[in-house]
Amino acid sequence: MKQELNEFSAVKITNAQLVPWPRVAAVGAMVAFSLPTFITGLEIHQALEPIQALLALVIGSLIIFAIGGVMGVIGAKTRMSSYLLVRIAFGDKGASIVNIAFAISLLGWFGVNINLFGDAVSRLALDVFEIKVAPLTLAIIASFCMTLTTVIGFKAINWLATIMVPILAGVTFLLAYSALSEHSFSQIMATEKVATFSLGQGISAVVGAIIIGAIILPDITRFVKHWSSAIYIAFIAYVVVQLLVMGAAGLAGAASGKTDILDIMIDLGLGLGASIIVIAGSWVLNSLNLYSAVLSTTATFPKLNATLVTICLGLVGIFVALLNLLDNFITFIFYLSIIFVPVAGIIISDYLFIRPHAYNIESLSDNRTFAPKGFIAWLLSAVFAILSTESLISSPSGIAAIDAIILAGIIYTTLSWNERRSSHRIKS
């Protein structure tokens, strides 16, 4: 009961729950080792010329590092989850809207990954081990394991990630090595093809693939002992691991000429490695997705029992998997980046420039009910980014995610500047 209160209620993490930062970094890295990250790297390779694909991966990873680094630092300093930070930025009632939206998005990711898991493991079982298993059966078993892990809490997720990271790193290295054994890096970069994405769209796709994880990074960085550790965690997860995973997938796609990551890995003799990536990566990633969805739900409805919420959301996740969101995977993650990046911009601006003194657990007892300025900034920046993406208006940066976060920060800071001055007068 004590663990439930500490992890899922409106309290900050205690000193007894803090862990060494490399263990938290393992959880962040596992998100990048997941199958959707490999798929995104392959999709970027297919949609862009080689040099543009490389630029999209590097720039996209740096953007995610910047967003996740700042959000992670805020979580480490306050020791609060992202959903408590949303409560402070958007108000108690306003946060309900934002947190439920996050929960829906996370359950969408849960469904995408369960869908990926069922199809992938079913194929691998047949191709590698000659065992026929129905994808739905595998999805139900996987959902049960992921839900059980989430019920246990961060400790179980952290333990699983710590064990699996070295193994998945080895598989990723073998994938890149096998690809480069077929064709040299210079030959791959010299390949000519017609791009179907602009560079900005490619960067936004990279950002969209993991933006939710960067925004909710406080959910795990609140467990570290010093705020600087959050920067190390974000760098390892987004600049090192994510870039290497997407890069390895792109190299493998270029070397093989195929468009399916599982076919590529099987052809390269990495069928067992593919199985490990699918099972371990999906297990940790989806446990973390469900963990954060529970945090968002219990932050909105604090009287609910966290264990029952976890079980119910796990069942909802199975239903979402049946919707087969994979058919529009790239579109799904692309628009996620546009819609949710502004939330990070508003929290960061509020914490750094407007009301830094409000970001403590004690302020929740006298928190504002609703923050219309935050919602105005969120709506306007998201609409602007979508319109610029559809070429209805010109994009200042050419990258929808960048437009969204910068515009959200500027609008919120401008609207709230008087609030900053008044809060300073109250403090003095």
User: How much is the pLDDT for 365?
Assistant: 84
User: How much is the pLDDT for 325?
Assistant: 62
CA distance 417 to 428: 17
Contacts of 395 (CB under 8 A, 6+ apart): 200, 388, 389, 403
User: How much is the pLDDT for 212?
Assistant: 79
pLDDT tens for 52-103 read 999 999 999 999 999 999 999 999 999 998 988 999 999 989 888 888 887 8
pTM here is 0.86
Per-residue pLDDT, averaged over 261-283, amounts to 87
Q: Counting beta carbons within 10 angstroms of the beta carbon of residue 166, is it exposed (0 to 12), middle (13 to 18) or buried (19 or more)?
A: exposed
User: Considering the chain, what percentage of its residues have pLDDT values greater than 70?
Assistant: 92
User: How much is the pLDDT for 174?
Assistant: 93
DSSP assignment of 192-221: ----SS-HHHHHHHHHHHHHHHHHTTHHHH
The torsion of the CA quartet 108, 109, 110, 113, rounded to 10 degrees, works out to 130
CA distance 76 to 119: 37
Give whole-number Cα distances, 312 to 39, 70, 149, 212, 318, in Å.
29, 32, 14, 21, 10
The residue to which tokens 């020791």 are assigned = 79
User: How much is the pLDDT for 5?
Assistant: 42
Tell which wins on pLDDT, 160 or 420: 160
DSSP assignment of 278-321: IIIIHHHHHHHHHHHHHHHHHHHSTTS-HHHHHHHHHHHHHHHH
Find, among 413, 132, 171, the residue nearest to 272 by Cα: 171
User: How much is the pLDDT for 250?
Assistant: 94
Extract the tokens encoding 219: 């959910």
User: How much is the pLDDT for 326?
Assistant: 60
CA distance 200 to 59: 10
Tell which wins on pLDDT, 408 or 305: 408
User: How much is the pLDDT for 322?
Assistant: 74
- Please say whether the beta carbons of 245 and 44 come within 8 A: no
The greatest distance separating any two alpha carbons of the chain, rounded to the nearest whole angstrom, comes to: 73
CA distance 161 to 24: 9
Per-residue pLDDT, averaged over 179-184, amounts to 90
User: How much is the pLDDT for 119?
Assistant: 86
Q: What is the chain's mean pLDDT, rounded?
A: 86
Instruction: Check pLDDT > 80 for residue 169.
Output: yes
User: How much is the pLDDT for 410?
Assistant: 96
pLDDT tens for 199-250 read 988 988 898 778 878 988 999 999 999 999 999 999 999 999 999 999 999 9
User: How much is the pLDDT for 271?
Assistant: 87
User: Considering the chain, what percentage of its residues have pLDDT values greater than 90?
Assistant: 42
User: How much is the pLDDT for 428?
Assistant: 39
pLDDT tens for 2-49 read 444 456 555 678 888 899 999 999 999 988 888 889 989 999 999 999
Per-residue pLDDT, averaged over 139-148, amounts to 90
Instruction: Check pLDDT > 90 for residue 341.
Output: no
pLDDT tens for 306-321 read 889 999 998 888 887 7
